[in-house]
Structures are given as C-alpha cells and as structure tokens.
Structure 1
Amino acid sequence: MLWNLEYIVSLVIAVILAMSIHEMAHGLVSYWLGDPTAKLQGRISLNPFAHVDWLGVLCLLLFHFGWAKPVPVDPSYYKDRKTGIIWTSFAGPVANFLLAFVCIFCLILILKLNPLFLYSNLGSLLESILSMTATLNIGFGLFNLIPVPPLDGSKVLFAFLPDEQYYRFIQGSPFFMLVLVVLIYLGILSQPLSMMQNGIWNAFVQICSFLLGM
C-alpha cells in the first residue's frame, strides 16, 4: 500500500510540474519577445492552478496522453512573427528537458553525498519523485516535439516552409488530431519515443556524473 501511495504521489507531482513548467516557458519566452498576453492573464507562473487542465491530468495518469491549458500568445507583438512562434513553441519542450536534467543531477548528487539517505522513507519518496519527474518530463518534451499540429514540434520542425504555408499548416485541422490519436492508439509512437527517452536519460546521467566527478 505504501509503495502504491508513493507511486501515485510521485506521478501526480511529476505530471503537474511537467505541465506547469512547459506552459510557463511558452508564456515567458513570448513575453520576452514583446507579447504581454500571458503575463496579463497570470500565466507566467509555476502555480499549477494557472496551467493545469485537470481532465488532461487525469487522461495522462490513466492513458499516458494528456494536455494542459494552452498559454495564450499573440504573435502580432513579435518583430518577426515566424521566428517568434518558433522560439515560443520550442521553449516548452526545452523547459521540460531542463527540469529533467536538474532532477537527475539532484539524484546523482544525493547518491554521491549520502547514498544511505535513499533507504529512508523520506529518501525513498524523494528518489521516486525525482526519477518520476525526470522520466515524465523527458517524455513530455519529446511528445510535444512530434511534428503534428497542434503540438510544438509542428511549429519548430516545419520552419523551412514558406510563410503562408507555414501559418496554414501550424493552425492544424481535425485531420491532424485524428492522425495523432490513431498513432497513439496503435502504439506506433511508443517504441521510437521510448528509445529516444532512454537515450536522453542516459546522456543526462553521463553528463551529471561527469560534472559531479563520479
């Protein structure tokens, strides 16, 4: 029962952190580029209540596919609209990867300074939260880089398209969402995403171990 409770607590914390930092990053970069929309609506915040769509959280917990409240942005404020959209979109996945890196760094630091701490109840819970948060943030960042509208990857990876086609493409359509749902349902994305997730995790571990002299 204790293990189940620890797992549930860790998973809920990881999901909320992943969604909150992802959406906050979108709003923050958009604000840096001159767009005050997210700031005026209180979305440049780590407060989960500002970002979390609880139905999306529930779906992510149950089906490993969820969503947060999209941060409102107004590209008309950007000096270069297309470039602004690309940077704002890229910010969310980058924030997820950075949070995952910090969590892995903290895990390895604990292992170096006091590995016996992880055998305590508190240490076990902390290890579960850090590892779950790192794993889920890597996965969340990768998923959002899939080049299918309305995911961030479609706005980043198709930047080579002419402006008119680019804007029309990233607006998406029900067809794109249907394709995404079918790919998820059939499990076609599971293996490549899992391989990339493991690769990023191992790379972060190696970097952190090197930085900490382990």
Structure 2
Amino acid sequence: MHLFSNFSQSLNQLPFLLTAILIGLTVHEFSHAYVATRFGDPTPRNDGRLTLNPAAHLDLFGTLFFIFFQFGWAKPVLVNRHYFRRPRLAGILVTFAGPLSNLIVAFLFLLLWMTTYNVGLLDGVSAQANYIVDSLFGKIVHVNVLLFFFNLYPLPPLDGYRIVEDLAPRRARAKMGQYEQWGIFVFLLLAITPLGRFVFGPMFTYAIPTTIEAMSHALSPLFA
C-alpha cells in the first residue's frame, strides 16, 4: 500500500499534490528547527534550517520518492541535545513540534477553504476555478493531516519513534538503539508492500477522514 494511494495520480492533480507536500514538509522541518532554537540549540540556525525556504529542507531523493512512490522524506534537522537543560523533555517537544505544525497548517487551510465559500469569494467564477481551489486546499489539508498521523508512528526514523525513545527507561533506550539501524528497512517494507495495508490502513480509513470532519464541525459555528 502506498502512503498516498488514495490520491488521484492524474497529471492535472500532480501540481496540487506537490504543492501540498512542499508546504507540509517545509513547515514540519522548520518547526523542529524553531523549537530546538528556542530551547537554546544554535545548530539548526547554524545549519541554515531556521527558514521557511523549501530549498533548505527538501531532499532530492525524498522528493523523487514522493513523485514516483507516493511517499518520501525531507532532510532531518540536526539537533544537539547538550544545549538543552532537560534533554528528554526538550527532545520530546522538539520532536512533536513537527507533526503538530502539520495539524495546525491543516486547520488553518481548512478555515481558509471554508471562508472562501462562505463569504462568496467564488461566486460567479468558472467551474475550473472552483476545481483549482478545491484541489489545492483539499490536498493541503489532507496531506498535512496525513503527515501529522504518519510521523507519529513509532518506527525509525519517524518522529513517533523518537518520542517513544525519550519516554523509555534508559535500559530500554539502549536496547532500541541496537535495532534502530534496521528500522528504515522495516519502514520501507511496510511502505511499498501490501503489508502496509495493515499498519497504515486505519490511518487512511479512520484517522484522517475523522480528523478532517471533526475540524470542519469545529469551524462550522463560525459561518452559521
């Protein structure tokens, strides 16, 4: 099961999907860098990662994987935890900042999407214009909610694994470190084979649509 298998792969949808991926990955990595810097680590700033310029965050092969295999990655933000007063707590917050930023982006774009219709900004425009707006905002919301849930899976090198690692006792962390090198192979196996249906399927079937629906309901009173 591909991570983005539920998206239309027609060429006319590709620009919207790539735009959504670019926004999602850039905000995600910037958020890691920003929170780490706030906790006193100059490494992200020194590495040029404290920016919303996508060129600083996108990985060539990761982007190509998104295009051809419908999943991929950005350049990881390097963090030096020696600068943190409470390394484990700060580490969890720095790690969680990435997925949380994607959820916030999804919420804001859903709000903007609903606003364009409820204030009549698209009244009288062509069907093509409506199609562009729906495709763009729909992809941005969907991809960012996906990135929120996907990155919380406890598989290396995803953020969820780092959070579990920081929460685990020292002995367990040492044990996790012994097998971490194999995590990327497990991740790729799940991502590009039918085995992923059992791991990632509930995210597509339940988590993502339920979250988008809940956000929509939460915003609806603003336009009543």
> 2:216 aligns to what?
205
What is the identity percentage for the equivalent residue pairs of Structure 1 and Structure 2? Answer: 28
Structure (1 or 2) with the greater helix fraction: 1
Contact 2:57 2:74 in 1 (8 A): yes
Query: For the structure 1 residues 6 and 118, does the alpha-carbon distance in structure 2 shift closer, same or farther, using more than 3 Å as the test?
Result: farther
Matched length: 211
2:68 to 58, 62, 65: 62
Distance 2:135 2:26 in 1: 19
2:53 to 47, 61, 84: 47
State the 1:153 CA deviation.
0.5
State the 1:167 CA deviation.
6.2
State the TM-score, normalizing by the size of structure 1. 0.89
Contact 1:56 1:68 in 2 (8 A): yes
Distance 1:119 1:203 in 2: 30
> 2:6 aligns to what?
none
Contact 1:26 1:88 in 2 (8 A): yes
Query: For the structure 1 residues 9 and 96, does the alpha-carbon distance in structure 2 shift closer, same or farther, using more than 3 Å as the test?
Result: same
Q: SS in structure 2 opposite 1:189?
A: helix
State the 1:63 CA deviation.
1.8
State the TM-score, normalizing by the size of structure 2. 0.86
> 2:144 aligns to what?
137
Distance 1:171 1:78 in 2: 25
Q: Which of 155-164 and 61-70 deviates more?
A: 155-164
- Aligned partner letter, 2:170: D
- Aligned partner letter, 2:22: I
Distance 2:124 2:150 in 1: 33
Which structure ranks higher in relative contact order (CA pairs < 8 Å, sequence separation ≥ 6)?
2
Distance 2:53 2:167 in 1: 35
Distance 2:208 2:36 in 1: 27
Q: Which runs of 5+ in 2 are unaligned?
A: 1-8
Contact 1:6 1:125 in 2 (8 A): no
1:175 paired to 2:188: no
> 1:196 aligns to what?
207
Q: SS in structure 2 opposite 1:42?
A: coil
Runs of 4+ aligned residues of structure 1 deviating over 6 Å after TM superposition are none
